[in-house]
A = this chain, B = another copy of it.
């Protein structure tokens, strides 16, 4: 377990000493990762098998294991690769100002990544080895709060809260398999509506609230509340 963790980290951070002898590899960790991402985008994480990835690359399943220790590590690579380089160049603006639009833009960018790669949601569950890109994303978000009256711990917690909110709202567009929800959307809503209607005396608050709910507002609403709360804390510090 500890070994696996260290292995995965080494792989994520590109700490493999390049081989000196032997044939030049036709495959590469990057190629495998990219192919796996393409497959997962289409068919989801549970359906992602070494076999399918190999087929897309026109190689055999076992050849993948020369470049990737196992499926778990492959997923870790996919995650970091899917994030890609962090958005928002260093931003020459004075620190301490504009933290709010910067965090908002960051959240939207994060959301876009999750929309592009629905399987990411499932892959982000639990603690796992972090890659350079993921850390860079986090760093950029924390940097948006530079110069504010928040402590380091508060900045981290703020970023954590915002990122978590984005993740949670993205879940609504995703099936349990980690693929985009297409036409079946109505089915779920209808089933829930029927259920609530059948038991409206059992869930009174939920029923009445649902009656006047507006879809697709959760991301913006929650983000505004969170950032309002952060703004209040910052101004309270002055």
Q: Give the chain B neighbours of A127 by CB distance below 8 A.
A: 171-172, 174-176, 181, 188
Indicate whether A233 reaches chain B with its CB closer than 8 angstroms: yes
Q: How many copies does the complex hold?
A: 2
Q: Which of A19-27, A30-38, A133-141 contacts B (4 or more CB under 8 A)?
A: A133-141
A62 at the interface (CB under 8 A from B): no
In the bound assembly, the distance between CA atoms of A192 and B158 in angstroms comes to 19
- State which of B139, B184, B227 has its C-beta within 8 Å of the C-beta of A229: B227
Which chain B residue shows the least CB distance to A164?
A: B168
Q: How many residues of A contact B (CB 8 A)?
A: 82
Main SS at interface, chain A = helix
Residues 173-185 of chain A, each 1 if its beta carbon lies under 8 Å from chain B, else 0: 0111110010010
Q: Judge whether A113 is part of the interface by a CB distance below 8 angstroms.
A: no
Is there a chain B Cβ closer than 8 Å to A82's Cβ? no
Task: Give residues of chain A (92-139) contacting chain B, Cβ–Cβ below 8 Å.
Answer: 121-122, 125-130, 132, 135-136, 138-139
8 A-B pairs with least C-beta separation: A164-B168, A225-B229, A161-B222, A152-B209, A143-B205, A228-B229, A152-B212, A126-B176
